[in-house]
Amino acid sequence: MKSLLKTDWDLVEKMIDEMLSDRIRAYEYYNYFVINDDTVLVKVYDEDDEVMFTVKAKLAGERLEVIDVW
């Protein structure tokens, strides 16, 4: 995979789900923003619609690799 901008949205969401499930078990939902060809920003929310944290991730082959969390 070369570009998140040209990738099917379902595949991007699958990669995000895999990245999050490796690290966290409980969250309500997330929103994501594709920043460029290889970077995505994911805001993770709890059941009260509050932002729990934000993840910046980069495309590494066929997976997303966490770069920063705040």
Task: Spell out the domain ranges in the chain.
Answer: 9-69
Question: Cα(8)–Cα(16) distance, rounded to whole angstroms?
Answer: 13
DSSP, residue by residue, the chain: ---STTS-HHHHHHHHHHHHHTT-S--SEEEEEEEETTEEEEEEE-TTS-EEEEEEEEEETTEEEEEEE-
pTM of the model: 0.89
Supply the pLDDT for residue 22: 82
What percent of the chain shows pLDDT beyond 70?
99
Q: What are the tens digits of pLDDT across the range 10-33?
A: 999 999 999 998 878 788 999 999
